[in-house]
């Protein structure tokens, strides 16, 4: 029987840590690195080897899973002064699960292929809850050979789907994030409108959940809005990064997407008003602030 691939996991934050747990439980030998190494400690307790540097984590690994904050960080880890890409053996598979730009994914994939490395851009949807439950939706951009090599690794963390060639996963994630962000904006405005008009927002949401307006965002984030629970699962600053990246792709393609542009401005205003580290469902507070309603959480974080 073939031994499972040794995996290097770079990034053990809100998403990476539970994803690493699932990799260990699936039987993959794991070496984990995080800039703040204490955040990787729970994986060490489960049997992972903790590495002090990305190069140490990636040495002799058959696959490197990256779950860091941005495309810029991915590029630095791969091709910066202490980048790992040129240290890896040809054939090593890179699985970039961070949300990065479409053009970034294509460019990084090409640079990796020139070094004989495999590539999969495999961003995820499902948030911290999906990461904990191992139920993430995983959108993969890769050639067929690299996807087949990555599939068992991805299945340990969720439900992968091969979208198309390199860059397709990153594009699918930006489409997903556009949809998520604009739906959060719609739910925020709906609850504010209900409140301002004298209806009970909780009962309005309950009624909507039984009709055509149902969505997971209305269900889960709508409840967070009602509870005022804005502890970050997906921080607003990350949502803004994604809407900005989606705007860039739209401009590259010559598209006029006014809803995306408006949603991007709303999240930009939320971040600028002090909500960068609140959950993206805190867009409710920005809508309230714009309408002269109490947005105390923003005031306290501004």
How far CA 248 is from CA of 67, 90, 204, in Å, comes to 22, 33, 36
* Whether the Cβ atoms of residue 85 and residue 108 lie closer than 8 Å to each other: no
Q: Look at strands 124-125 and 136-141 and give their pairing.
A: antiparallel
* Whether the Cβ atoms of residue 239 and residue 276 lie closer than 8 Å to each other: no
Which residues are catalytic, by number?
A: 173
Q: Look at strands 30-33 and 7-10 and give their pairing.
A: parallel
DSSP classification of residue 39: G
Partner residues linked to 66 by β-bridges: 10, 96
* Other beta carbons within 10 Å of 297: 18
pLDDT of residue 63: 98
Residue 10 phi, psi (nearest 5)? -105, 110
| Helix 168-196 with 258-270: angle, nearest 10 deg | 70
Closest CA to 161 of 182, 179, 177, 140: 140
Structure token digits, residue 232 = 């970050």
- In Å, the largest CA–CA distance within the chain is 66
* Whether the Cβ atoms of residue 119 and residue 140 lie closer than 8 Å to each other: no
**3 state DSSP class of 49:** strand
Closest CA to 180 of 111, 242, 262, 226: 242
Query: pTM of this prediction?
Result: 0.88
pLDDT of residue 302: 39
* Other beta carbons within 10 Å of 60: 10
DSSP classification of residue 194: H
Residue 66 phi, psi (nearest 5)? -115, 125
pLDDT of residue 297: 62
* Whether the Cβ atoms of residue 71 and residue 102 lie closer than 8 Å to each other: no
* Other beta carbons within 10 Å of 96: 30
Q: Profile the chain (302 residues) by mean pLDDT over runs of 10 residues.
A: 82 96 98 96 97 96 95 95 95 96 95 98 93 97 98 98 98 95 98 98 98 96 97 91 93 96 98 97 97 76 42
């Amino acid at each position: 029987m073939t031994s499972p691939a040794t995996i290097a996991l770079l990034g053990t934050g809100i998403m990476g840590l539970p994803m690493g747990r699932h990799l260990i439980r699936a039987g993959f030998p794991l070496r984990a690195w995080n800039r703040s190494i204490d955040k990787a400690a729970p994986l060490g307790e489960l049997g992972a080897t903790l590495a002090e540097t990305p190069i140490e984590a990636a040495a002799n690994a058959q696959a490197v899973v990256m779950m860091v904050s941005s495309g810029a960080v991915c590029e630095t880890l791969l091709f910066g002064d202490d980048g790992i890409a040129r240290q890896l053996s040809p054939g090593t598979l890179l699985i970039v699960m961070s949300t990065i730009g479409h053009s970034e994914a294509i460019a990084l994939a090409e640079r990796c292929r020139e070094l004989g490395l495999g590539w999969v851009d495999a961003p995820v949807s499902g948030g911290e809850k999906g990461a904990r439950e191992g139920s993430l939706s995983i959108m993969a951009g890769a050639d067929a050979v690299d996807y087949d090599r990555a599939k068992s690794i991805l299945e340990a963390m969720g439900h992968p789907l091969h979208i198309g060639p390199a860059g397709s996963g990153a594009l699918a994630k930006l489409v997903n994030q556009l949809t998520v962000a604009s739906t959060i904006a719609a739910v925020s405005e709906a609850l504010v409108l209900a409140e301002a008009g004298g209806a009970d927002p909780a009962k309005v949401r309950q009624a909507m959940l039984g009709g055509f307006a149902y969505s997971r965002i209305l269900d889960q984030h709508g409840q967070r809005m009602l509870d005022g629970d804005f502890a970050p699962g997906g921080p607003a600053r990350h949502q803004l990064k994604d809407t900005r990246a989606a705007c860039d792709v739209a401009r590259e393609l010559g598209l006029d997407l006014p809803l995306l542009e408006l949603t991007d401005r709303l999240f930009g205003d939320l971040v600028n008003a002090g909500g960068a580290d609140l959950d993206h469902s805190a867009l409710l507070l920005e809508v309230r602030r714009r309408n002269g309603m109490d947005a105390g959480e923003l005031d306290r974080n501004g």
